[in-house]
A = this chain, B = another copy of it.
Amino acid sequence: MLYISKKHMEEVISLNIMMDSIEKAFKIYESKNFQMPDRMHVDRKEGTILYMPCFTDTVSGTKIVSTFPENIKDGIASIQGTMILNKSKTGEPLAMMDGAALTAYRTGAVGGVGIRHTTREDCESVGLIGTGVQGFYQLLYACAARPIKRIYIYDLSKERVNFFKERLEEKLKNVEIKIVQSPEDLVVNSEIIITATPAQSPVLPDDKELLKGKHVIAIGSYKLEMREIPKSLYELLDELYIDTEFAAEESGDVIVPVREGWIRSEQVKVFGKLLGDKENINKNKGTSLYKSVGMALFDLVVAEAIYDEAIKKCIGQKLGE
């Protein structure tokens, strides 16, 4: 049995392999050859704990993630997590890994796959609204998927955005990183736009002229009351791509636009159904929106890929019997 920490993941992970494994997960999802019970969640006074089990032919796994907002007061990460990976056939544990790092890598990879298929191949600029952990990894994947030269970042908190810029510069030495003063500035300068905020109202300007031709990857909204994307963007779309059917049931960025008639439900397409047929995904590379909410199957398939790489590269801590 292997323990794979956040540091081990940093050593072992190739972002392109992670995106390939998300594409594999999309295919498993469409083949229906997996079992994904409903998430179980427990509410505590400190926050929420989520249990996300999933099973494929080769592996099964359970991600346990807690979100305790008050941790931040004590300088402790609010999101804590563990992934247990098992052999499907026997139930034997194969590995335990850092669940928070896994979540960041897989969420970034799901966004990265969106960039791979919905954006122009020559995009050189990307803008990020919401400079949290998820945003950080989204940008790493954006740079792996496209020849990015310029990154624009925006956040309501000046302190956070400065700190974020420093951390990002350490990772991405050949990319120019600029803090912008408004979402408008960000949209004007960026070909790809990533939103990764907990916002309850749109974080992009509701301006058709500004948004036209932009490729938006929206990560934040996973509940009805959460919204990042303005009405204008929907009116520019031929199709809205969602990572799973759950997005249409859970995210305010899909539910509200369909309900209000800004987009027709037939235009909302489950991404995995189109994958493998490049002509079917934003073929003219016009204005696009890719909305991700995630699912346990993504975690599982990515965890399996990380485990395989760790074994191959002899990285990770072996656990005795």
Residue numbers of A with Cβ under 8 A of B are 3, 5-8, 35, 37, 40, 42, 44, 46-47, 49, 51, 53, 55, 60, 62, 64, 66-68, 71, 74, 76, 80, 82, 84, 86, 88-93, 96, 317, 319-321
Contacts and interface: CB of A to CB of B under 8 A. Distances in A.
Contacts of A49: 53, 60, 91
A198 B66 CA distance: 37
Given A82-B84, A84-B84, A91-B46, A321 B55 contact: no
A55 B64 CA distance: 14
A62 B50 CA distance: 11
B46 A42 contact: no
Contacts of A82: 84, 93, 96
Nearest to A68: B91
Given A62-B64, A319-B317, A320-B317, A46 B90 contact: yes
B76 A80 contact: no
A239 to B, nearest CB: 35
A66 B91 contact: yes
Nearest to A62: B64
Contacts of A317: 317, 319-320
B6 A321 contact: yes
Nearest to A46: B89
A64 B7 CA distance: 26
Q: Considering the complex of A and B, which 6 residue pairs feature the smallest CB-CB distances, nearest first?
A: A66-B91, A80-B91, A68-B91, A40-B40, A5-B320, A3-B319
A286 to B, nearest CB: 43
Nearest to A80: B91
Contacts of A53: 40, 42, 49, 51
